[in-house]
Amino acid sequence: MDKLKDYAELVKFEHTIFALPFALSSVLILMEDPPSLWRIFWILVALISARTLGMAFNRLIDEPFDRLNPRTKDWPLSSGRVSREEVKKLILASGGVFLISCGMINFLALVLSPIVILLLWAYPYSKRFTYYPHFVLGIVYLLIPVAVDVALNERVSLNALVLGFGMALWVAGFDVLYSLQDYEFDREQGLKSIPVKFGIRRSLELARIFHLGTLVSLVILGFAHEDLGVVYFLGLVVLALFLVYEHSLIRPDDLSKLNKAFFTVNGYVSVAFFLTVALEFLV
């Protein structure tokens, strides 16, 4: 049981709440006909296994830095509660499940699956080479509705790209906020991020711009999609209020509420969007 808890902590399984509601929203928005439960099952398996793979890559590749970082030195891998070999086995297992799930969805999903794996592997390395690793993670989230469209309809539609762009800006924005926790450490270690390049105050402004871009994308989607109406737009108002609240919690001279802004409010944003879309289609 303790080892299972260590694995759950290793991959931050509870953070699946960020991606899962958006993926389910993508299913509702992009489906032409109601998909079978079997198809939805494999879409969810693909999403969860891909996220597990990405987190395992992240922990393994970042382990030398995590050992030195006061914030992360007690994490399962950096503290020794989980070994590097165990993480490598987790990578093989989750990668295998991801490939199998893509194959069960359709042939096109299987053909495109290596692109997802490559991006998941590249993200942890990106902070060594670019001040914009947040956009690499954003591209991963952009691919969620694209992948859903491929899984449901064997195509990539404009609606999927617009929704994906909104998700990419959303995750890039909150990844900028998350990286503020390691601002001093990253500067000392020569790691790159938007906060390292632009400073805390400017980074907060950029995160707000990214999240404004998310709202603009979702508004455009509402006008472009014939089945999204009044309920959807009212839901976007609620979403906007959550984002405003999130940014009100963080100031350049006070980052004490950063965890609340990142973990709690972002979870509300994702769930609120799914409930909005679900309610729209029920109405």
- Which domains does the chain carry? 2-282 (1.10.357.140)
Closest to 177 measured CA to CA, from 275, 278, 255, 280: 255
Write down the pLDDT at residue 252. 82
Closest to 183 measured CA to CA, from 78, 69, 260: 69
pLDDT surpassing 90 at residue 250: no
pLDDT, mean over the chain: 89
- Note the pLDDT tens digit of each residue in 114-151: 999 999 999 999 999 999 999 999 998 898 899 899 98
Contact in structure between 17 and 76 (CB atoms under 8 Å) = no
pTM exceeding the 0.75 threshold for the entire prediction: yes
Write down the pLDDT at residue 135. 94
